[in-house]
Every structure is written in structure tokens, then in C-alpha cells.
Amino acid sequence: MFELNGVYRNRIGEYTVVALNGPRMVVRYADGTEAELNVNIQARIWENIVAEQEARAASSRHLRQSNKDTTHYIKAVSLPPGEELAFPGWQERVVMAPTPELAQRLKPGDRFIYYAVEAQTFFAVVTITGEVFEADPKQHTFTIEADKVFFFPTDVDAASADLEHGVSADSIELESYPDFGKLHIEPESFFRISEDDFELLAEALTEITEDEEEETEEFEEYEEDEVE
């Protein structure tokens, strides 16, 4: 993957490969300092950086191409503090429309922020990617009493792996709902918000996600270096 004199980047900064020695390589950073690094770890970091750049470029294209009909929401779910991100529809990457009326209003391209009711924390940015379909809710781990309900396929743009790292409702002020954290909120409910409020939350959660990924990569690099 890496080539001699090739220019790449990790979380420290841009570097040039000056020597390749099997599983290790010597690199020189822009400030002239050199370091010996693990090739496999740096390959994974570089791939993640490229993927992030492509995702940001795709997001920018989406924003340029999106029309004024795009609607933004907060989607409430039941997810107690300390629990893993495992709730109905999450693993299957679908969202349930709780009423037929809402199913008629939601559409591909609409975006929402997941909100954990018990923890009062925003934790994920999601985009609806396809048309509505009907399915047995039990297929997507929902336990409601119904044979068929409406679902939309989704894609997760950013998500905090730990609710403790999410955005607390008390730490951010939304113009659409100034006292959102004080509202009585039922799981599976939707709250329509302004694009400005959505972008405020989405930016904060994207930064949190990138920080978590960086910490994970640094820890893995330290662990592998310790083993060697």
C-alpha cells in the first residue's frame, strides 16, 4: 500500500515514507522529525482518513444538491445510560414511523438526530435513504402489537459509541425547542426541528465520533507496539 517517497497522513500530520522495512517503515513529518511506525496500523489510519474525507465530500455534495423539501427531526428512543447502542431498528438500519400520517410525510433525504430519552442525550446523526415499506415489527426487534408497520431504511452518518460522550440536552440550546430537556418525551416520537438546530447537533456529534475513532486508533497502535 505504501510507496517509498509517498506522502500520506496520520493523526499527527502529513508524512513522507523514507524507508520500508517489512512490517515497519520510517517516515519523515513536515517539521523534519522522523519516526518508525507499524505499517498495518498506519494503513488502517490512512484508510480511515481517506474514508472520512470522502464522507465529508459526499456530505457537501448532498447539501449542495438537497432541495428545500428536506426535513429535519429529533427521533426519541429508549436507551438507558450505560447501555450499548442496541435498540429496535438500530442494527437493521431502519427507523419506524409510529403513525401512518408521519409515514406519508417522511421521505428519502430527510435527516434526524437520535435522542436517548432516559439519558437525555443526543447520540447519532441519521439520513433516510429509501422509500417507505411495510414489515412485521418483530423482524426488526420491535415488540409493539401490530402485524405490519411502516419503516424507512437509513444510513448512520455519525454516532457516539458511548452515551456518556454524546451531547447532553442541558448542554445545548435549540431554537426549535429552547427547553427540550424539560419536555415529557415518549420513545419513538419525532420532533421537527430547524436546519440550523440540526446542523448544530450534527457538527457536535461528528466531532465526537472523530475524537472517539482517533482515541481507538491511538490505543490500538500503543497496544500493538507494546506486544512487539
The pLDDT tens digits of the residues spanning 58-75 come to 655 555 455 457 899 999
Higher pLDDT, 215 or 19: 19
Beta bridge partners of 116: 77, 121
Cα–Cα distance measured from residue 142 to residue 89, given in angstroms and rounded to the nearest whole number: 7
pLDDT tens figures, 165-187: 889 999 999 999 998 989 999 99
Delimit the domains of the chain by residue range. 7-64, 69-212
CA angle, residues 96, 146, 154, in degrees to nearest 5: 15
Maximum pairwise Cα distance, the chain: 65
Question: CA-based Rg of the chain, rounded to a whole angstrom?
Answer: 21
| Size of the chain, expressed as the number of residues it contains | 228
Instruction: Report if pTM > 0.85.
Output: no
pLDDT of residue 120: 94
Percentage of residues in the chain with pLDDT exceeding 70?
A: 86
Superfamily name with CATH number, domain 69-212: ph1033 like domains (3.10.590.10)
Tell me what the mean pLDDT of segment 45-51 comes to. Answer: 85
Quote the pLDDT of residue 67: 47
**CB count, 10 Å around CB of 150?**
19
CA atoms of 199 and 176, how far apart (whole Å): 13
How, if at all, do strands 121-128 and 149-159 pair? antiparallel
**Strands (DSSP E) along the chain, which ranges?**
7-9, 14-21, 24-29, 34-38, 72-77, 94-97, 111-116, 121-128, 133-135, 149-159, 167-168, 190-193
Cα–Cα distance for residue pair 214/55, rounded to 1 Å = 16
Amino acid, single-letter form, for residue 55: A
Q: Is residue 24 over pLDDT 90? A: yes
Helices within 100-150 (DSSP H only): 100-105
Return phi, psi of residue 93, to 5°: 55, 50
With CA atoms as reference, report the closest residue to 212 among 164, 160, 168: 160
DSSP H or E segment with residue 175 = none
Q: How confident is the model at residue 164 (pLDDT cuts 50, 70, 90)?
A: confident
Q: Say how many C-beta atoms besides its own lie within 10 A of residue 78's C-beta.
A: 14
Q: What is the DSSP pairing of strand 72-77 with strand 111-116?
A: parallel
Tell me which residue has cell 435549540. 174
